[in-house]
Amino acid sequence: MLVRKPAGGQPNPNFVQCVNCKKTLFTAEFEASLRVCQYCGHHHRLNWRQRVAFTFDADSFVETDTGISSLDPLEFPEYAEKHQQAQAKTGMVDSVICGTALLDGRPVSVAVSDFHFMGGSMGSVSGEKVTRALERGANEGMPVIIFCASGGARMQEGLLSLMQMAKTTAAVELCRTRGVPYIAVFTDPTMAGVLASYASVADVILAEPKALVGFAGARVSKQAQVHKAPDDFQTAEFVFRSGMLDRIVPRREMRSTLVSLVRLLGGHLHLEAKKVG
Ligand SMILES: [Zn+2]
């Protein structure tokens, strides 16, 4: 979270502090630059509302599948309390929001993961929402755009969480058979069970600069390493060099890049819809 610069003991809403370089920024300028630090270029984490506002046509997002909520199938200690606290903190039902939106006038099916809800972890509800976003795109001929921000599968739902990996990946295959493009955007962080399922099998994979991308967490990786890892290990830049990503896109260019991709890869859908119409 950003720390607001104290002034006279009270937080001053006109200033924010960059979490990376610690420099003080004007809040208005910070928001105008899409919450990217003007000094060090650090891309601060966004909540789902900010992500939607920065990406899609104004007021075009319509949330769907709002009526599903998580049970506590394993009666995992403190899960119910933690889940309720996350709901109160974020105003979300679970860590993923899905729906439809317009991107430069073209309809797209969307899912956005929000790290602020239990680390964006994928339980049965978030897996279901990602699946429905993909299936909606496949069934209605809309390109699918998914923003990933997750520490991985949700341990409190055990195997039911891990099952989402197979379910979401099967839904990606449905898009493929219908010729519907699916674009994934890795934001900070895209890890573990999410990286190892629907995130990695998109037709086009973009990432924000310096986003953490990997399977095991940093501590586990360190313990397992025989050789010293490069300094940028598990960053978007590192996995890009390994060919895992198609492009690293600064936030200010993300919307225009997605517009181009949807126009390029989804143009045939538009034509087919016109023919049917
Ligand atoms: Zn900074």
User: CATH number for the domain including 120?
Assistant: 3.90.226.10
Please, what's the b/e burial string for 206-230 (b: 16 or more CB within 10 A of its CB; e: otherwise)?
bbbbbbbbbeeeeeeeeeeeeeeee
- Domain shared by 218 and 251, yes or no: yes
Considering the domain architecture, whether residues 3 and 54 belong to the same structural domain is answered as no
Reported as a single tens digit per residue, the pLDDT across 140-165 is 999 999 999 998 999 989 999 999 99
User: Which residues sit with Cβ closer than 5 angstroms to ligand 1, an ion?
Assistant: 18, 20-21, 37, 39-40, 42
Give me the pLDDT at residue 70, please: 83
Burial-class residue 70 by CB neighbours within 10 Å (0-12, 13-18, 19+).
Answer: buried
Pair 74, 1 in one domain: no
Q: Is residue 223 pLDDT above 90, yes or no?
A: no
Structural domains of the chain, count: 2
Across residues 173-191, what is the average pLDDT? 96
62-64 and 24-26 as β-strands: parallel, antiparallel, unpaired?
A: unpaired
Which residue from 40, 42, 6, 22 is spatially nearest to 14, judged by alpha carbons? 6
Interval between CA 191 and ligand 1 midpoint (Å) = 24
Write the pLDDT tens digit of every residue in 42-66.
Answer: 999 999 999 999 999 999 999 999 9
Residue 86's pLDDT band (boundaries 50, 70, 90)? very high
pLDDT at 2: 59
Q: Are residues 70 and 94 in the same domain?
A: yes
* Residues 1 and 52 grouped into a single domain: no
Q: For residue 25, what is the enclosing H or E element?
A: strand 24-26
Domain, as residue range, for 34: 1-44
Cα distance between residue 115 and residue 150, in whole Å: 6
Q: How remote is the C-alpha of 84 from its chain's centroid?
A: 22
Q: What is the pTM of this model?
A: 0.89
In this model, does residue 9 exceed pLDDT 70? no
Which of 166 and 11 is assigned the larger pLDDT? 166
**79 and 1 share one domain:** no
Do 10 and 99 belong together in one domain? no
The number of beta carbons lying within 10 Å of the beta carbon of residue 253 is 12
Task: Report long-range pairs for 30-38 (Cβ below 8 Å, ≥24 apart).
Answer: 33/252, 34/251, 34/252, 35/251, 36/250, 36/251, 36/252
Amino acid 277: pLDDT: 43
Greater confidence (106 vs 272) lies with 106
**Do 211 and 144 fall into the same domain?**
yes
Q: Which two tokens stand for residue 84?
A: 């309720």
**Cα of 16 from ligand 1 centre, angstroms:** 10
CA of residue 22 to ligand 1 center, whole Å = 6
Mean pLDDT, all residues of the chain: 90
Ligand 1 centroid, distance to 33 Cα (angstroms): 12
C-alpha 211 – ligand 1 centre gap (Å): 15
Distance 124 CA to ligand 1 centre (A): 36
Residues 11 and 56 in one domain: no
Who has greater pLDDT, 243 or 12? 243
